[in-house]
Each structure stands twice: as C-alpha cells, then as structure tokens.
C-alpha cells in the first residue's frame, strides 16, 4: 500500500494503481499534476470514515461491505455522494439499486428528492410505484419526515407528477 488517507482521525491505506484503475478522479489526483501526486498521506475532511472505507472496499472488491439494515439507506445516500465526487458510476448504480429495494413510508419522499437530484428515473419510478398504493401514500404523507416539504419547495413538478398518479 503506497497511499494513506486520513478521514476524521481514521487512517485508511490503499494502492494508488488500484484507486486510479477504478476512478478517473483518483487517477487525476494521484498521477496528475496535482499536489496529491507526490503525497503519501492525504487528508479527506468532508466525508464520514465509514463511507470512505465502504467506497475503498467497493473499489477493491466490487461489492459493498455488510451494513446494518437500519443504516443501509443513509449509507447508500452518502455513498452516492462519494461516488459522484470520485467519478465512480458503477458504485452509483449499485447504490441506486440498493435505494430502490429499501423504499418505505418513512423514506419515500426523501428518496424521491434524491432520485430527482441525481436524475435517476428508475429510482423515481420505484418511489412512484410504492407511493401509488393509497395506504403507503397516506402513511408517508403524515409521517414525521420532511421529505414532502422539501419535495414541494425544491421539485414541485415532481410532486405534481406524483399527485397525478396517486389522486384519481
């Protein structure tokens, strides 16, 4: 291992060539004209260590590490942000699939916002399909989640599209 990352006090070691092979961003940072090219220790300040470790695990194994079921949605969302930052399209697709499988009444609206932010039609349709069931829609609407409020202010056209599908 020829590079280490410090992520909020945690140290994660990796191989530059492996990182560069899986991410054009890592390739540019570790082998391009940036200062990281000559550094063996790089500090990452704006990412949770668990997310960075999961991303590195994915880079090496093409799989995600085991996660607590309760933590899956949040980790998937954070991993999407990390994958977007490091140009890892396959990881984004894996996370989108994971998010599709974990839609429930407490996460549906927030997941719909997330789908719209990233332009994921499949995730958006999965949310719509879940919310088309009247009991799911009602429970999601009266839940404590701020997702519908955020959806109505940030993406009112998506809420209109959803209501057109749900309300006869």
State pLDDT tens for residues 82-109: 999 999 999 999 999 999 998 988 888 8
State pLDDT tens for residues 35-72: 665 678 889 989 999 999 999 999 999 999 998 877 88
How many whole angstroms from its chain centre is CA 147?
16
Q: Does residue 152 sit within a domain?
A: yes
Three-state DSSP state, 38 = helix
First vs last C-alpha separation in the chain: 59
- Total length of the chain: 168
Q: Does residue 156 sit within a domain?
A: yes
**How many structural domains comprise the chain?**
1
Q: Does residue 41 sit within a domain?
A: no
The residues with which 92 forms a beta bridge, in sequence order, are none
Q: Does residue 115 sit within a domain?
A: yes
Give 113: exposed, middle or buried? Use CB within 10 Å, 0-12, 13-18, 19+: buried
CATH number at residue 145: 1.25.40.420
Domain range enclosing 120: 103-168
> Can you give the pLDDT at residue 148?
84
Q: Does residue 8 sit within a domain?
A: no
Q: Does residue 142 sit within a domain?
A: yes
H or E segment to which residue 11 belongs: strand 10-14
Q: Are strands 41-44 and 10-14 parallel, antiparallel or unpaired?
A: unpaired
Nearest Cα to Cα of residue 127 among 166, 157, 153, 94: 166
């Amino acid at each position: 291992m020829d590079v280490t990352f410090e992520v909020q006090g945690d140290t994660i070691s990796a191989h530059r060539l492996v990182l560069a092979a899986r991410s054009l961003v890592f390739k540019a940072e570790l082998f391009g004209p940036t200062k990281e090219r000559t550094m063996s220790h790089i500090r990452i300040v704006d990412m949770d260590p668990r997310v960075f470790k999961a991303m590195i695990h994915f880079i090496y194994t093409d799989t995600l590490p085991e996660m607590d079921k309760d933590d899956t949605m949040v980790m998937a969302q954070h991993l999407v942000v990390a994958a977007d930052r490091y140009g890892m399209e396959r990881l984004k697709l894996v996370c989108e699939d994971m998010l599709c499988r974990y839609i429930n009444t407490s996460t549906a609206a927030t997941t719909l916002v997330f789908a719209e932010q990233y332009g994921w039609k499949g995730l958006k349709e999965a949310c719509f399909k879940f919310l088309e069931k009247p009991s799911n829609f009602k429970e999601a609407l009266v839940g404590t989640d701020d997702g519908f409020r955020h959806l109505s202010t940030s993406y009112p056209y998506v809420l209109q599209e959803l209501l057109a599908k749900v309300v006869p």
